[in-house]
A and B are shown apart, each in its own frame.
Chain A
Amino acid sequence: MRRGREAHPPASRIPHPAARILVSKEKILATTTTTTSPHGHADHGHAAHGPELQHHFCTPAQQKEAATLGMWVFLVTEVMLFGGIFMAYAVYRWAFPEVWAEAAYHLNTPLGTINTVVLLVSSLTVALAVSAAEAGKRTRVIQLLLVTMVLGVAFLGLKAYEYSEKFSHCAGYSTPAQWVGGGEQHAVYECLVPGQAFLFPADKTTGVSNAPTVAGQGTPYQLFFFLYFVATSLHAVHMLIGLTIMGYLAFITWRGVITPTYFTPIEIGGLYWHLIDIVWVFLFPLFYLVH
């Protein structure tokens, strides 16, 4: 009954890296079909490979390939996550092209431009950090990662200013400083934060001949700003995660985990950071530059 398999035995086996002893075919058949020998894994030394090789991988190259592919697949899921928002964006922009053009005038394009530059530079510093890691320059890696973090924080700071500008207008102040300090109020003429108070202004300064009358909740103008807030805040959440990762990478580099032969964490952390940048590179023109 249970003979069938013998006709097609596996030709040979590759030994576990921890036990690199070549064994004959006959012996392997015996060892795979019985499990009398203890696994002997807990006591294996790390002589053959670095401490970072996990037990279930055969070679460091395999481990690196898995980690890198894993990050790429994860990035695909991130793209699809933002893809949902881009889909909604596309549908409504197609439905209300003029609304989109007018609404975009009310975003702070200079700040957005500065932020774009800040992020692009941070991508550069991450890329430099990867090559520094490859070259084994530990201090340099830490420095570059810290610069990246500073740039990331700067981006978030500017983004926070943009948000507070929008909120302070809703509260009736023209600048966030007045909003915080309780300066002089001016008449409420716009509120670009979606919600009950949403009010899109009859702005005569944009140069659009058919500037609309004041429009409140329930108009397509609100859709633009809703998507703007959701997309940029989702992006900001990813920035925060990215900053945490950068901090962790700087920490493990400082601890000496990263070596010229093992710098996969820096590489895949860098991939994640680049993705965040690329998402912003799409968000910026789609929201700020549609007019």
Chain B
Amino acid sequence: MRDFPLFPEQASTFAGPVDALYWTLVGLSLIFGGVLPFIILYLMVRYHRSQKADRTNQVHSSLPLELTWTVIPLVLVLAVFFWGAFLYIEIRNPPDRSLEIYVIGKQWMWHVQHPNGKRENNELHVPIGQPVRLVMTSQDVIHSFYIPAFRVKQDVLPGRYTTMWFEATEPGEYHLFCAEYCGTEHSLMVGRVVAMRMADYERWLTTPGEIILPDGSTGGAVASPLVGAIGDPMVLAGSQLFATGLGCASCHRNDGLGIGPNLEGIYGTEVRLDNGELVFADENYLRESILNPAAKVATGYANVMPTYDGQVSEDQMNQLLAYLKSLGAADAE
């Protein structure tokens, strides 16, 4: 019989802290869940009707006792709550300068594009020792991106971006699962995560592999003239869409004289809307402004932008976002 594990591998920076909290809870549970049954068993035997025991002076309620077993569990659960809360906040807040990789879920596969344009299906190659931030969306139903060895999971929703981050620590191959039921082949929407040393990752990135089209299909494609079979870097593809493909640049001019606002450096800043509110310009704001421009209009600009709903594929949206973010990064330097 092949060997079988009873505990998952620890392969990210989260694995240790999450498991520590888990084992603490297991320990506390054993105190309650392990000792209490023995107390019950003892009482069952000690006070069985066949046993001679002192049954006089029965007590039917006791405030001190009630308070004891109210307060002690309360203190304990609050302690583990705060422990878990701080860990959760860390899990939800990616460090700056994370490597961003774009993920699209669809029935029933994962499609991944790296910044340099390299695409892969049902696999995710990541470097170790480097925070990686996944920007994920779905083309159809809700999926969930789950890497047990990293202790991370995030639902992937249609119509918006969700993100998650991790830092792999051990090179190796790990399971990738879809954890949210998504239809017939839900259990086949699995793959592997390959964690590799940075140098190996960089070599892998620049090695042309199988040609994968933006819709995830393989084979029979004409290689991009620029970087061979790897495809255009996402920023470059995005800039082409911005300048000519969708014609964004004719209104969103970088000299501030256009009909629409100048988008340089907009990512990650706060934008004031025409109703006076401030919104944070994250991926979801930029996405909504492209697909549903009237929803949140920047102050000082007329609500004249037509919707691009149905004209931009999820793949192109990712490239546009990569481009818009690169504009911000250029400013910062």
Assess whether B77 is interfacial by the CB under 8 Å rule: no
Chain A residues, Cβ within 8 Å of B275: 97-98
Bound together, the chains give a CA A97 to CA B274 distance in angstroms of 12
Assess whether A220 is interfacial by the CB under 8 Å rule: yes
In the complex, the answer to whether A213 meets B309 with C-beta atoms within 8 Å is: no
Assess whether A218 is interfacial by the CB under 8 Å rule: yes
A218 nearest CB neighbor, chain B only: B309
Bound together, the chains give a CA A216 to CA B133 distance in angstroms of 34
How many A-B pairs have beta carbons closer than 8 Å: the answer is: 29
In the complex, the answer to whether B292 meets A210 with C-beta atoms within 8 Å is: no
Assess whether B218 is interfacial by the CB under 8 Å rule: no
In the complex, the answer to whether B297 meets A99 with C-beta atoms within 8 Å is: no
Assess whether A96 is interfacial by the CB under 8 Å rule: yes
Assess whether A215 is interfacial by the CB under 8 Å rule: yes
In the complex, the answer to whether B304 meets A213 with C-beta atoms within 8 Å is: yes
In the complex, the answer to whether A210 meets B303 with C-beta atoms within 8 Å is: yes
In the complex, the answer to whether A210 meets B295 with C-beta atoms within 8 Å is: no
Q: How large is the interface on B (under 10, 10 to 19, 20 to 34, 35 or more residues)?
A: 10 to 19
The digit string for A210-242, where 1 denotes a CB below 8 A from any CB of B, is: 111101001110000000000000000000000
The digit string for B294-316, where 1 denotes a CB below 8 A from any CB of A, is: 11010000111011011000000
Closest CB in chain A relative to B294 CB, distance in Å:
4
Chain B residues, Cβ within 8 Å of A98: 275, 294-295
Bound together, the chains give a CA A257 to CA B56 distance in angstroms of 61
Contact of A220 among B295, B302, B306, B310 (CB under 8 A): B295
List B residues 265-294 near A (Cβ within 8 Å). Answer: 274-275, 292, 294
With A210-B274, A210-B302 given, is the CB distance from A99 to B307 under 8 Å?
no
Closest CB in chain B relative to A207 CB, distance in Å:
15
In the complex, the answer to whether B306 meets A213 with C-beta atoms within 8 Å is: yes
Bound together, the chains give a CA A187 to CA B310 distance in angstroms of 25
Chain A residues, Cβ within 8 Å of B307: 213, 215, 219
In the complex, the answer to whether B292 meets A220 with C-beta atoms within 8 Å is: yes
Chain A residues, Cβ within 8 Å of B292: 219-220
A220 nearest CB neighbor, chain B only: B295
A219 nearest CB neighbor, chain B only: B292
List A residues 174-233 near B (Cβ within 8 Å). Answer: 210-213, 215, 218-220
In the complex, the answer to whether A99 meets B295 with C-beta atoms within 8 Å is: yes
The digit string for B193-220, where 1 denotes a CB below 8 A from any CB of A, is: 0000000000000000000000000000
List A residues 93-125 near B (Cβ within 8 Å). Answer: 96-99
Closest CB in chain B relative to A96 CB, distance in Å:
6
Contact of A96 among B295, B306, B309, B310 (CB under 8 A): B295
Closest CB in chain B relative to A125 CB, distance in Å:
44
B302 nearest CB neighbor, chain A only: A210
Closest CB in chain A relative to B50 CB, distance in Å:
15
Closest CB in chain B relative to A224 CB, distance in Å:
13
In the complex, the answer to whether B303 meets A212 with C-beta atoms within 8 Å is: yes
Chain B residues, Cβ within 8 Å of A211: 303
Contact of A212 among B274, B294, B309, B310 (CB under 8 A): B294
Bound together, the chains give a CA A98 to CA B275 distance in angstroms of 9
Chain B residues, Cβ within 8 Å of A219: 292, 294, 307, 309
29 A-B contacts (beta carbon < 8 Å): A96-B295, A97-B275, A98-B275, A98-B294, A98-B295, A99-B294, A99-B295, A210-B274, A210-B297, A210-B302, A210-B303, A211-B303, A212-B294, A212-B303, A213-B294, A213-B303, A213-B304, A213-B306, A213-B307, A215-B294, A215-B307, A218-B309, A218-B310, A219-B292, A219-B294, A219-B307, A219-B309, A220-B292, A220-B295
Q: Which residues does B use to contact A, with CB under 8 Å?
A: 274-275, 292, 294-295, 297, 302-304, 306-307, 309-310
For the complex with contacts A213-B294, A213-B304, 9 further pairs of A-B residues with Cβ separation under 8 Å are A97-B275, A210-B274, A210-B302, A211-B303, A212-B303, A213-B306, A215-B307, A219-B294, A219-B307
